[in-house]
Each structure stands twice: as C-alpha cells, then as structure tokens.
Amino acid sequence: MSGKDRVKVAVRVRPFSKREEDAGSRCVVSMGPNTTTIMDPRSQQVRTFTFDYSYWSHSGFLRNKEGLFVPEEPGGRYADQSSVFQDLGQAILENALQGYNATLLAYGQTGSGKSYSMVGYGPNKGLVPTLCERLFQAVKVNQDTCQFQVFFSMLEIYNEQVNIHIFKSETLGPRSGGGLKVREDQQRGFYVEGLRRVACKSGAQVERMMEQGTRTRTTAATHLNASSSRSHMLITLQLKQVLLLITKESTINLVDLAGSERQRTSGSEADRLKEGTAINLSLTTLGNVISSLADAALGKRVVHIPYRDSVITKLLQPALGGNSRTIMVATLSPADMCYEESLSTLRYAERAKRIQNRAVVNESPTEHLLKELKAENAKLLTRLSRLADEGRQASSESSTALRSRPQLTPLQETMIQTFPYILNVNEDPQLSGVVKLFIQEGRCPFPLSIQEKHAAFTNLDRQVTITPVSQAKVTVNGSLISSRTELHHLDRLILGSNSTYLFIGFPLERNAEDWSRYDYDYFQSELAAAEGIHIHSLCSSSDGRGQPDPSLLAVFYDYIKLMPMVAEANQMSQELRKGVQFKLEIKNLAMSDSMGHDLEKEIAIRVTSEETKQVWVWSKAKFVNRKFLMEELYQQQVAEGAGSGWAPPPRDRDPFWDPLEPLHLGSAHLWLQSLAFRIRLEEQVEVLGPEGSEEAILQTQLVPCSPAGLPLGEDAILIDPTELLDKRQDFQLVLERCCGLRWLKEARDRGVQIGFRMYTLPQAFYAPSVWHNMNPVLDHRVQFTVMKTSQDFLNYLQTNALVLDLWGLQGMLNSWTGLSPPLGLPNARPCYRLPLSKKWIIISVLCSSRLRSVSAMAPLFTVPLSVVPGVEPSRRSERRGSLRPSCDAEFARALKVFYHSMTTIRGQLQKLRCNKPKVGRSWHLQFK
Ligand SMILES: Nc1ncnc2c1ncn2[C@@H]1O[C@H](COP(=O)(O)OP(=O)(O)OP(=O)(O)O)[C@@H](O)[C@H]1O
C-alpha cells in the first residue's frame, strides 16, 4: 500500500484589504479553473502558473445573515471556506482515516490569508476547525465497528526555538526558558522532547485547546513584544483506529507558516554572510529543502536535502519527501503593491508541486498495540482528571486572568459588566481582544509580569488613572506621558515599545460604538502623527479622481509597520548597552532623477552611534534581518545573564555593528542645457538631503572649451544647437567649492566627496575627498570630449541635469587623491570610450590642482584620437566659432542671459517642489 504521491498545491487569492482599497490598488492576479496568472504592474508582463487548485476569493461574494462570506449567486466563482474544505480538508481527512499521514501547509506573505484559510475568522471557520469537527463526526459514525483515539498537540517555532506554552509534559519539569529540544530517534524521526499530547473526545474540545494555545501564545508574544506572524504554528492530530485485527495510526500536521516576506535578505554580501546564521533562515531552509526535492523529482542528482538546517524542516521531514500526503495552500494578496511577494509565493509553490512523497498506510497487528493503548488510556485518564482539577482551581483564583472572546464564564461576564479593563490590540486581528485585564477598585500595578515596572493603575471614585513607574515609557493616544494621567473610554495605551491596549471604560460610558476601528494600524498611525508624520484626507484631488498616491501610502504603511520594530531595536540597544540609536527615515522624499522626475520613495533606517556620532543608513530589508539577530542576541543575554559569564559577540558578528561606509547626504542638480548652446554657466547649486533639507551649497561651472581646455568666448555661442550635430564638443565641469556643509557642522572629524555620472557612462566620477572643513575648496575640473555629437547626446544636454551626489565620509579615510577610489565608492576611471549609434564618444578626464592655471593643466590620460573612428579635425570647429558674424554675437549674449536665468529659475522651482508637501492629492504625507 504505498506509492508516489506528488505534493498537491492550491493557490488562493483574497479580497483587497482596507489598506489596499484606500491605496486604489489594482488586482494583478487572475485565475482560470487550474491556472493562476499574475501581471507585472510596471512592464505589464504576464506569467501563468498551473496548480492543482486555484481559489478565487477576491470578488463576487457577499456576507449573509450568519456573517458567512458566500458567492453572490449560486454557483458563482467565489471560493468560500466550505468549497476550499471540500477539496483540501476532505482530502486530508480521508487520507488520515485510511491510515496515511497527511500534512496541510499554508505559505504566503504576512496578511495574505494563511490564518483565514487555516483557522478562519468568526463564523467563517477555516480548514483546521472544520477538519476536527468532521473527524469527530466520522469517529461517531464508525464507533460501533472501530475504536478511535485522537491526540492533539500544538507548538510554535519562533527564532528557531520551540515554544509550547500549554502543552508541556509534566515529566519535563520547569525550564529556564530557551524553548524545547528537538531530538532524533531512529523510529520516530525528529520529535520535540516534552511535547504533551492531549487525548480529545470532540471537535469542540480541540477548538478550545487551540483557542487556549493561541491565547497563551498571544500573551507570550505580548510579553516579548514579538509578533505572532513571525512564528510558525504547528498543530498535530494523531489518530489511532483499532479495527478488528488491525491498528491504523496516522498523523495530521496542520502548519501555519510565518509570513514569507521575511526570507528576503539584505543587499550586501557581508550581511548575507552574517545573516546566514539568522533565525529567519527557517523559511530559507524550507525553500532549499523544497528546491532540492523538486530537483530530485526532475531526475537531477541531489546529494543532500538540508532537513537538519532548521527546526521547521526537521519536524516537517515526513511531510516533504517522506511518508505523508501533503497539500500546500499558497495565499496571495491581489494588489499591485504586493506583486513581488505574490510572484515569489507562486514560484515557491511551483517548486513545491514537483515534490514526490512516498506515503504508506501505517497499519500493524492489534494485539500488542491494544495492550499499549490500555496502559496509555489509564495514564491519560489520570492526567485528564488532574488537568480538569487544575483548570477549576485556576479559574476560581484568577481575577485578572486572560479572557477568551468566544467563551466567557459567568465570573468573567460579571467582571466585564462591573470594571473598566484594557484589551490587547495585536498586529494579527485574530489575536486582538484575547487579553483582558480588569482594573479593580484601588491601586493595582499592571498585572503582566514584564510590565510590572511600567505603570500603575488606580480606580478611585469612578475615575481611572495611569502613572508610569520609574520613567518607564508609557504612551496614551500617541503622546508620551510622564505623570499620572486620567484615562477615558477608548483611550489607546502603549506600554514600553510595543504592548498595545485599548482602554474600555466603566459600563455606563460604553455605547454601541464599533471598537474595531482602533486596530493596530490606528495605534501606529497615531504614534507616527506624534513624530510629525500624518496621513490625512484632503477634500479633493487635483486629478479629480480623489485617489490617494499609492506610492506615498505604501511608504506610510511601511513606516508605521516598522515603527514598533525600531522602538524594540532601540530598547534592545539600550538594555544591551550598544550605544546606537535607530531612526526611521523616508528616502528620496525630495529627490529627483537627472530629468527632474521624482525618485521612488522608500523607507530607510538611520543608525547613529551615540558616542562617536558615526552614522549608517540601512535598507528596510537589512534592518528587518538585523532585528531578528538582535532578538536572538537579546534572548541569549536574558537566558544566560549579562553578569555571569555572558560574552558579547565579536564585532563582525554583532548585529548592532557595521563597518563604516560613505553616506549619501543629498544631491544637487546642474542643468546641462547651456552646453547645447555653448554657453558658460556659473552656478551655486543647493544640495538637498533625502527629506528636502539643505545639506550644502556647491559652487560649480560648466565651461565649453577648446580641445586644449581653453574656455570658448561668447562668439562661440550657438543659436541653434543642431549645429553641434556630428561635431566634436569639449566642455569642462568645474567643482569649485562647497559651503555650509551640515554634515561637518554636526561633527568635525568628517569629510565629504562629490560624485556624479555623465550621460550613459557606466561608472561614476569622483572629486577628491575633503576633510574637517565646513566650506572646503574642491578645486576640481573634469574635461569631457565628445568626438561626434549625436542627436541623442544633444537631447540629453537639453533635457537633463548633472546630478551631483554629496557623500559623507567618516572617521576612516585619508584624503583621496582622485585616481584611487574612496572606500566603498566605485572606482573612477579617467578615460571611456562608448559606441553610440555606431559612432564613438570619448570622455577624457583632466584634473587640475589650480583652477586659474588651466593652460598649465596636463591631461592625466591622453586619448589617442587617431585610432578613434569618426574623429573630426579639432581645429575646424574652433575656427568656425571665431568666424561668427557680429550680429549673431549680440543675439548670443541675450541668449546667454536668458538661459542663465532659466537655469536659475529651474533650480528654484525644483527646490520649491522638493520642500513643499504635495497638495492637491486626496491623501498626503506631511513631514515636520
Ligand atoms: N479568502 C478570504 N476572504 C475574506 N477575507 C480574507 C480572506 N483571506 C484573508 N482575508 C482577510 O485578510 C486579512 C489577513 O488575513 P490573515 O490574517 O489570514 O493573513 P495571514 O497570512 O495569516 O497573516 P499573518 O502572517 O500576519 O498571520 C484578515 O483580515 C482576513 O479576514
């Protein structure tokens, strides 16, 4: 009874979330009966995948009287919970009843609908509860002919640690934390030592235990300021069926994997190495296991399947390539802003469907097992009665116990009707409202152990107040409080960096209002507003469509999502005495490209050393990865104790540390248009930082010149730029001086360097670095020679600016002399040749030490003109310039003034545009 079983894969796409709707998202996913198609919102390129099942749950549904999401019309295409169960849940159940091991895995980006499919929300029950219900129905129907036993266990894997919260074996004894061990046994394979299995009699009992597990998990996550979507949840049902002479035994694994976007690594190689040991390696390892198995199924030679590299792959070994019938549900967001994540989920799923398992019916003779079962039964009965006793005792003792939403005892009902209380608000909406803490009359310290030092509540004369304890961080409605503060119904509290609660006042104050609007995003938006970052609605938009700007909105949501993580990182830095501060920034808010178009905005994290004032700027992906490592370090420190022999990691493995790198401080735009008319331009351009602040003023010049570097006179000015076509053109960029460097104002042991790119040349040019001076003289001149001016190059001059990037150097560099590249900045080459429309452009770089003695300037590299095709005799153009009629010279002078003013105005306009918030949109961000 064995055979090859391919892993079955289902894809499900959910409705737009409110956030996506607000952002005016477009749906980029479409589905046929078995196909799923995704479109790249930028290139419109379409990719189609084929899976065993495709569930369209995006549109075409309504909510019926019972609160169930059902198709708008009978037979409609919307896939509701019951139709998903019909295929997937039923298959798992039938396999288990036949004696096969069965696994159901949910994979997808955070918020894409894994929990909705697996557990469900409210009346829309997901696969797990329905499966339990149907399992026990089957047990009931067959109980006359077959003896059944069902065991339940539940565990969570977070940061490579196994946490079981309630299902710990009594034989294991108390542990000091750090999770349970995963051991290996020849017969059992990998298993969790000390994980208790609970015998179950009904689906309702399993549901209760799941709720209890989820509740305890939420409380634990609240204690650790952690998010449950970063952990994997594994529910295991073991089914024993004793039928006449045969015993069948099967294991059902139901796995809600952590949000998949965390498998991304940051950009730099050094980081990838460092993060190779990270906690979030579990999803990467799972991906590697899936890839190796998929390769093996395609007949490729695979030497090693890396099951041992992470806890989740150890425990899922039978499910992946082993003795199990496995189904994976890949969940997708439909929105264009999630395109990358959705595509990567589809690719993951594509690989998973190639995996071949070998499932066998697990059956054996009864006699021997019956004996075992009897003994186990007796043991379990004793345990069950002990548990029941403990449960009774716990509920009578606890006055501030955690309350589950679905089932309230009479005592809990009375408490709710009598006292004000606070309610936890979680990032995962399903876990919000799970913790209720009642504030009884008198003064009570905050009852959760981790926050004991945080705040005290009083409930006197029908007035509730909160007082921070010993300068602990307590926020009420987004504002930090330092003294006793009165609380009002529906006030929002944040204790520490990220424990979020809604205050529910006395019963008389409560109306029939909807509390659900105070979700996690609401709390974070309020905090962001206190930091000067608002998102709010304007009445109308300039485009008349009333649509918010999706890119700004996406950045805003990224910002509020990262805020608690940044707060946690700061808290860890403080407790571990790392001396670094993290701060969120919005990159490119005021930046534009060489044509003046806005650059895509993104979140960055500025890291500052409190002592040395050194600065690093991390990408979002890098920060998220580092945050995992910080948590790991923090937990090690907590487990091992800072004072007792705990050694901090060496610097190169310290997630708080990084080697120094040049920092991009801002850019200035020097418009090139004057060169198309051979007009000399002298400009003071403003270097604007990522958020629009003035970082420095740069004195520059663009000088049309002769091949020998002599500036051309006014006679050479052209009225029609097309006269340059096919001719040789020489010009110099002069970087004279930098003034008012803010970077130097903050710390004097710093330097700066200017870099820029010209036209389509692949590499950047850099001026020598200058140090310790707020107004340094740069004295740098670069000469460019275009051998044959093409239309393309002329267009470039007329529509583009030279973007001059200002780089901040700190504490690690000696002055760079111009030929060797500065640390971390790409190499600068003195001579380039590029084929352009079958003609050649040559750019040679000349450097001068004294600007005034240009004629004495020697080229560092001479370009062998004779070997370059398309070379024009250089003198001809010079002669032509000097032979222009004098009336043209008059006109040229006027033109010069005109273009000079135009460049200045363009600069001013750009500055205004960068500094002003974008009005006229229905949503906008406002920055302090
Ligand atoms: N098929 C669906 N129909 C209706 N609503 C859905 C569906 N799938 C998901 N949702 C809604 O989308 C939201 C996010 O879903 P869910 O919490 O299941 O995501 P998740 O992938 O489990 O996230 P996390 O990784 O944070 O746990 C929820 O509010 C849920 O109600």
Q: Give the DSSP per-residue string, 589-640.
A: TT-B-TTSPBPPPEEEEEEEETTT--EEEEEHHHHHHHHHHHHHHHHHHHHH
Average pLDDT over residues 862-870: 27
State both tokens at 296. 């093996």
**Given ligand 1 and candidates 11, 13, 14, which is best to mutate, with the most ligand atoms within 8 Å of its CB?**
14
Nearest atom in ligand 1 to 118's CA: 18
Average pLDDT over residues 489-515: 84
Average the pLDDT over each of 95-109, 366-380, 430-444, 792-806 and give the range with the smallest value.
366-380
Query: Does 830 have pLDDT greater than 80?
Result: no
8 Å CB contact between 320 and 289: yes
Q: Give the DSSP per-residue string, 631-677.
A: HHHHHHHHHH-TTTTPPPPPGGG-TT------EEEEEEEEE-HHHHT
Residue 762 vs residues 536, 592, 596, 765, 828: alpha-carbon distances, Å: 42, 19, 20, 10, 10
* The pLDDT value given to residue 882: 33
**Which of these, 567, 655, 830, 678, lies nearest to 274 by C-alpha position?**
655
8 Å CB contact between 105 and 329: yes
Nearest atom in ligand 1 to 17's CA: 12
Who lines ligand 1 at CB under 6 A? Answer: 14-15, 17, 57, 69, 108, 110-116, 121, 229, 259, 331, 428-430
Q: 841 falls in which pLDDT band (50, 70, 90)?
A: very low
Q: Give the DSSP per-residue string, 318-366.
A: TTTTSSSEEEEEEEE--BGGGHHHHHHHHHHHHHHTT-EEEEE--EEEH
Does 817 show up as a binding residue in the annotation?
no
* pTM, 2 dp: 0.52
Does 395 show up as a binding residue in the annotation?
no
Please report, for the chain, the start and end positions of each structural domain, with discontinuous segments joined by +. Answer: 2-364, 370-395, 410-532, 550-653, 663-915
pLDDT tens digits for range 170-183: 444 444 445 788 88
Query: Could you tell me the end-to-end alpha-carbon distance of the chain, in angstroms, rounded to an integer?
Result: 69
Residue 718 vs residues 673, 704, 759, 792: alpha-carbon distances, Å: 12, 11, 21, 18
Query: Does 853 have pLDDT greater than 50?
Result: no
Mean pLDDT value across the chain:
75
* The pLDDT value given to residue 607: 95
**The total number of residues written for the chain in this structure:** 928
Percent of the chain surpassing pLDDT 90: 22
Percent of the chain surpassing pLDDT 70: 71
**Given ligand 1 and candidates 77, 116, 329, which is best to mutate, with the most ligand atoms within 8 Å of its CB?**
116
Q: 606 falls in which pLDDT band (50, 70, 90)?
A: very high
Does 769 show up as a binding residue in the annotation?
no
Task: State which of 186-200, 670-684, 899-913 shows the largest mean pLDDT.
Answer: 670-684
* The pLDDT value given to residue 912: 59
Query: Which of the four CATH numbers 2.60.200.20, 1.10.1060.10, 3.30.70.260, 3.40.50.740 does domain 410-532 have?
Result: 2.60.200.20
Does 110 show up as a binding residue in the annotation?
yes
Q: 774 falls in which pLDDT band (50, 70, 90)?
A: very high
Average pLDDT over residues 190-218: 81
Q: How many C-beta atoms lie closer than 10 Å to residue 111's C-beta?
A: 22
Query: Does 608 have pLDDT greater than 90?
Result: yes
pLDDT tens digits for range 651-695: 778 899 888 888 889 999 999 989 999 989 888 999 988 877 889
ipTM > 0.85, yes or no: yes
Q: 279 falls in which pLDDT band (50, 70, 90)?
A: very low
Does 109 show up as a binding residue in the annotation?
yes
**Given ligand 1 and candidates 27, 69, 83, 121, which is best to mutate, with the most ligand atoms within 8 Å of its CB?**
121
* The pLDDT value given to residue 702: 93
Q: How close is the Cα of 9 to the center of ligand 1, in Å?
A: 19
Q: 707 falls in which pLDDT band (50, 70, 90)?
A: confident
CATH 2.60.120.10 given to domain 2-364: no
pLDDT tens digits for range 63-75: 998 889 999 988 8
Cα three-residue angle 119-122-124, rounded to 5 degrees: 65
Nearest CA to ligand 1 atom 16: 113
Does 322 show up as a binding residue in the annotation?
no
Cβ-based neighbours of 544, under 8 Å, separated by 6 or more: none
Query: Does 917 have pLDDT greater than 50?
Result: no
Nearest atom in ligand 1 to 110's CA: 25
Average pLDDT over residues 344-349: 90
Average pLDDT over residues 222-232: 57
Average pLDDT over residues 393-411: 42
* The pLDDT value given to residue 271: 44
How far apart (Å, rounded) are the C-alpha atoms in residues 836 and 826? Answer: 24
How many helices and strands in the chain, by DSSP H and E? Answer: 20, 47
Q: How close is the Cα of 333 to the center of ligand 1, in Å?
A: 9
Q: How close is the Cα of 511 to the center of ligand 1, in Å?
A: 29
Average the pLDDT over each of 151-165, 654-668, 771-785, 865-879 and give the range with the smallest value.
865-879
* The pLDDT value given to residue 805: 92
Q: How close is the Cα of 228 to the center of ligand 1, in Å?
A: 14
Nearest CA to ligand 1 atom 23: 111
Does 111 show up as a binding residue in the annotation?
yes
Q: How close is the Cα of 18 to the center of ligand 1, in Å?
A: 12
Q: How close is the Cα of 70 to the center of ligand 1, in Å?
A: 16
Does 409 show up as a binding residue in the annotation?
no
pLDDT tens digits for range 530-569: 777 766 533 333 344 555 566 677 778 788 888 888 988 9
Q: 93 falls in which pLDDT band (50, 70, 90)?
A: very high
Average pLDDT over residues 380-399: 46
Query: Does 331 have pLDDT greater than 90?
Result: yes
Average pLDDT over residues 442-448: 53
Nearest CA to ligand 1 atom 1: 14
Nearest atom in ligand 1 to 109's CA: 21
